[in-house]
Amino acid sequence: MPWYTRDLPAPYERGLRDPRETLEQREQRLTRRVSERHGVTHEVAARALRRVVAGLRSGVARFDATEYGFASAADRSSALLDSPAGMAKLLAAEAWSCRPLEEVDLAEPLHSIQRHIRHSLVAHNLFHPEKKPALRDEVVGDPDYDPLRDLEAVESTWPESQDYDFLRHSCFLRTRHGQMMVVDGHHRVATGLLLSKTFILGRILHQTDLE
């Protein structure tokens, strides 16, 4: 069963981990890994890991984004822009691809345009930063399962679109009222907040640019 429990391994887990490793030893190993990969202290890494594990053990797949540090959370349907045409423009690749990467202050209130955050995707970002999530839900966020194992077989059949290369980083919208909205990459932002990072690299659009 999952890496965060004492249950017997699931079929996909066989060979991934040393069966003699205790849960406590695994937690220590993973804490060191998060600390090293994100450049944070052992204490910060341990706190982040405990938070994600508690969410995974709760049996509730998703929590409200505010529980991961967002100032507010609302479904995309709650209009950010005044017109459907404006929203379509906001979601278009050409609106973002020319935008430079900037440091976005994580101390500023950040507002999510999606209601929920998945614990497994935050775990993925803790253990596999800079990698796309695995394709199967049961392995997403597993620290010892390389997500590229599934992705390489699928993505080798077609070239990756350069149009959407901007999605490698989070996307933000500064509203006309000054609020900073997270448009894409919510789980990356949630991970940064969880690790007490001061900033995250992302691309910023201003609402006035879309009008």
Q: Which of 51, 50, 53, 46 shows the shortest CA–CA distance to 68?
A: 51
Q: How far apart are the first and last CA of the chain?
A: 50
Residue 82: count other Cβ atoms within 10 Å of its Cβ. Answer: 12
Tens digits of residue pLDDT in 68-93: 999 998 865 445 555 666 667 777 77
Q: What is d(CA 47, CA 41) in angstroms, rounded to the nearest whole number?
A: 10
| Residue 161: pLDDT over 70 | no
List the Cα angle 25/27/29 in 5-degree steps.
70
Which range in 16-20, 75-79, 126-130 is most confidently predicted, on average pLDDT? Answer: 126-130
CA distances from 12 to 15, 16, 121, 204 (A): 8, 8, 18, 40
**pLDDT at 157 (0 to 100):** 47
**pLDDT at 168 (0 to 100):** 81
pTM > 0.85: yes or no: yes
**pLDDT at 83 (0 to 100):** 60
Q: What is d(CA 162, CA 200) in angstroms, rounded to the nearest whole number?
A: 22
| Residue 155: pLDDT over 60 | no
